[in-house]
Amino acid sequence: MRRPLRRIIIAALIAVGPGKAVYLVAANVFLNTSLAPETINRKPEKFQIHWRSGWSLWPGMAVLSGVETRGRSKSVEWHARLDSVRTTFYLRPLFHRTVHLASVKAEGVIYRQRRILAPGQPSRIPASELPPIPASLDIPGAASRSPGPAKPPGLPWRVLADGITCDLSELWIDRFRLLGHLRVETAMDLRVRGRMEFPRIRLQMASGDLLAGEGVIFKELGLDADATLHSFIPRQAKRLRFFRNLSGRFVFHSKSASLFFLEAYFRKTPWLHFNEHAGGRMVLQLDHGVLQPGTTLDIANDQVDVGILDRRLTGKGVITGRVTLTNGAPVSQITAHLIEFQVAPVGSDKPFARGRDSVIVATSDKLDLSDPFTDLKVSFDLPEAHILDLGFYNSMIPPGSKFHLISGTGTLRYHLEGSQDEHSLHGDIALSTKDAVARFESYEMRGDFTLKPPLRQASPKELLFDISGTRLDLRKKNPDWSATILFPKAKMKFSDPLAIDARVGFDLQDTRPLVAMFDALKGAPGWVERMMIIANVKGTAALQGGHDRVAINDLEVTGEKLKALADLSFGKQSKEGILYVHLHGFSLGVELKKGEKGGKNRDLKLLRPLHWFEQERARRKLAHP
């Protein structure tokens, strides 16, 4: 020991007198030898603490430096490092199993905690994203103790703190990690194995980062909170139930916040996702875990990124949130307004449409954060988007149909509504084109079409949609021609491969496109083909499509002096099926076979064609029920 310091200590001992001198020597020997670790760390499997140095100048005051501590319960384990901690406390309450702290000041705190999984229970979080926590601390001078006989538990201790000030540099709980200087000021009332309460908590952070694993949720996060943690029993307040004990005002602001945190609001609507980052400010006003009026959210960004079903909208937008009183009860509403946007498939950066003023509105009156937003209602409006690439929709047409969109202009509209209470997602979609060019095999078609599929029911995870009631209107000029196709029952799965199962009804101006497209009478005399062109044709059929094949079964077509029946199948390499036509008193049957190189793939049936067709249809249904 250096001479000046030795002189100071000797002078202090003389000044305080013999009694206090004894305390100074005893207390500081206790704090700086193995006596403290041996006394405190009696159950190292549950709790351990040690420090580099400590000192005390009078009873009820202690300062520790280089503190490390860890602990473990049935459900969590934790570990902390503190550069220093200074405390003052009252001595008399110790005789009544109460630690009454007048003040605590901790600096340079790093705290880490993670849940303990049951044996064999897999972790949903990668090990690399969880905080490292040592199984035990290497405490010099701490002797190992045998557990000894179990003792009946005594009366529980109580810990009271009039004021705690804690300066944290890292707070890491499970996969969530807060980096930056966070000041915590609070009082505390804790009963071991019982209730605990924090009557007033002040949290302040000028700038920090909040991470979830490797991803940044909030960058340059600012936090200012004035809250109360009401009396609760920890083992009864696990996970989200903890919020029921929390009241206060929390103000967050960040220059770059991941919109991932909105997933908590939209957790009941898996068809809607917010991606990317945005700067903004959020105020939470809580009363025992329930959001109250005064809660606000304001985010503005040039790169808002929203996933809706299998579509991705990106662009300049504003997201706002408010909690207001409606009929005497608080109701939340979040509005995402995309001022300018582009539409692309999920997983792609290549847009196929652009537009303005798309709006998503979500409301809920279930604002208890212990089980939040269970009745969420969401609406999505896309009033108009201009299609950049009509060929994009070829991905929604089964390849086996041999139908292909080539070019054209058009617009796209959406209106969708979802309700958690009704477990529903429904709405309307409209696709309109002008001067579209399409091709069926070698036959090229030009004209306009409007497709209006109502969304009656959806399974977003499976991308399975009930679009019964879909209407398709076709128009063509030079020469004029029109048709309407209805789908009274239709289900479509937007998977790979795409699949459709539908009943179809159609009303055609005439049969010219059918004669040209299906090419069923190729090789027949010209006068036969001309006779096939019939006006005012109506029909029904069952349509099934997937991967590389489309099947049209139970086709029935009627018109003036016309009746046609067919079961047809179209694939990438061939078409097959049977067709019966009765026209102007003349009947004809056609059998399309899978073609072989150099072989015949079409047979005309002139003898009793209807009898042949009915027998062949029955035979095929028996063979493939």
For 373-392, what is the mean pLDDT? Answer: 88
Structural domain includes residue 472: yes
Q: Which domain holds residue 560?
A: 389-623
Poorest-pLDDT segment among 17-26, 102-111, 263-272, 506-515: 263-272
Question: What is the number of H-type helices and E-type strands within the chain?
Answer: 5, 33
Q: How confident is the model at residue 566 (pLDDT cuts 50, 70, 90)?
A: very high
The answer to whether the beta carbons of residues 333 and 378 sit under 8 Å apart is no
Side chain identity, residue 536: N
Compute the Cα dihedral for 306, 312, 313, 314 and give only its sign. positive
The answer to whether the beta carbons of residues 75 and 238 sit under 8 Å apart is yes
Note the pLDDT of residue 204. Answer: 96
Summarised one tens digit per residue, pLDDT across range 468-489 is: 999 999 998 878 889 999 999 9
The closest of 61, 58, 37 to 49, measured between CA atoms, is 37
Strand partners, 261: none
The closest of 92, 83, 48, 40 to 65, measured between CA atoms, is 83
Q: How confident is the model at residue 168 (pLDDT cuts 50, 70, 90)?
A: very high
Note the pLDDT of residue 4. Answer: 56
- Dihedrals phi, psi of 223, to nearest 5 degrees: -140, 135
- Mean residue pLDDT of the chain comes to 84
**Rounded-to-10 torsion of CA 588, 594, 600, 602:** 10
Q: Domain count for the chain, please give it.
A: 1
For 70-77, what is the mean pLDDT? Answer: 86
Note the pLDDT of residue 597. Answer: 46
Q: b/e map of 122-161 (b: 16 or more CB within 10 Å)?
A: eeeeeeebbbebeeebebeebeeeeeeeeeeeeeeebebb
Note the pLDDT of residue 322. Answer: 94
Angle at 344 between CA 342 and CA 350, to 5 degrees: 95
Which position has the higher pLDDT, 533 or 471? 471
Q: Pairing mode, if any, of strands 98-115 and 158-173? A: parallel
Q: Is the pLDDT of residue 492 over 60?
A: yes
Helical ranges in 505-601 per DSSP H = 512-518, 526-531
For 5-27, what is the mean pLDDT? Answer: 60
Q: How confident is the model at residue 261 (pLDDT cuts 50, 70, 90)?
A: low
Neighbours of 92 (CB within 10 A): 9
202 Cβ contact list (under 8 Å, min separation 6): 183, 184, 185, 186, 225, 226
Note the pLDDT of residue 337. Answer: 92
Q: How confident is the model at residue 150 (pLDDT cuts 50, 70, 90)?
A: low
Summarised one tens digit per residue, pLDDT across range 315-340 is: 898 889 999 998 888 999 999 899 99
The closest of 390, 309, 294, 386 to 345, measured between CA atoms, is 309
Q: Is the pLDDT of residue 46 over 60?
A: yes
215 Cβ contact list (under 8 Å, min separation 6): 258, 260
Structural domain includes residue 422: yes
Q: Is the pLDDT of residue 10 over 60?
A: no
Q: How confident is the model at residue 149 (pLDDT cuts 50, 70, 90)?
A: low
CA distances from 48 to 42, 467, 585 (A): 8, 63, 100
Q: Is the pLDDT of residue 574 over 90?
A: no
Note the pLDDT of residue 136. Answer: 83
Query: The tokens 């055609």 sit on which residue?
Result: 508
Helical ranges in 446-575 per DSSP H = 512-518, 526-531
Note the pLDDT of residue 148. Answer: 58
Note the pLDDT of residue 615. Answer: 94
Structural domain includes residue 447: yes
pTM for this structure? 0.76
Structure tokens at 230: 């009401």
Compute the Cα dihedral for 575, 555, 544, 401 and give only its sign. positive
Q: Pairing mode, if any, of strands 277-287 and 296-308? A: antiparallel
Which position has the higher pLDDT, 548 or 508? 508
For 213-237, what is the mean pLDDT? Answer: 87
Note the pLDDT of residue 218. Answer: 85
For 533-552, what is the mean pLDDT? Answer: 86
Q: Is the pLDDT of residue 432 over 50?
A: yes
Alpha-carbon distance of 187 to 163, in angstroms, equals 5
For 22-32, what is the mean pLDDT? Answer: 81
Structural domain includes residue 458: yes
Structural domain includes residue 597: yes
**Rounded-to-10 torsion of CA 253, 260, 360, 325:** -50
Q: Is the pLDDT of residue 556 over 90?
A: yes
Alpha-carbon distance of 243 to 288, in angstroms, equals 7
Look at residue 516 and give its three-state secondary structure: helix
Side chain identity, residue 435: D
Which position has the higher pLDDT, 345 or 79? 79
CA distances from 116 to 75, 122, 200 (A): 5, 11, 30
Neighbours of 48 (CB within 10 A): 22
Q: What percentage of the chain has pLDDT greater than the value 90? A: 39
Q: Is the pLDDT of residue 291 over 60?
A: yes
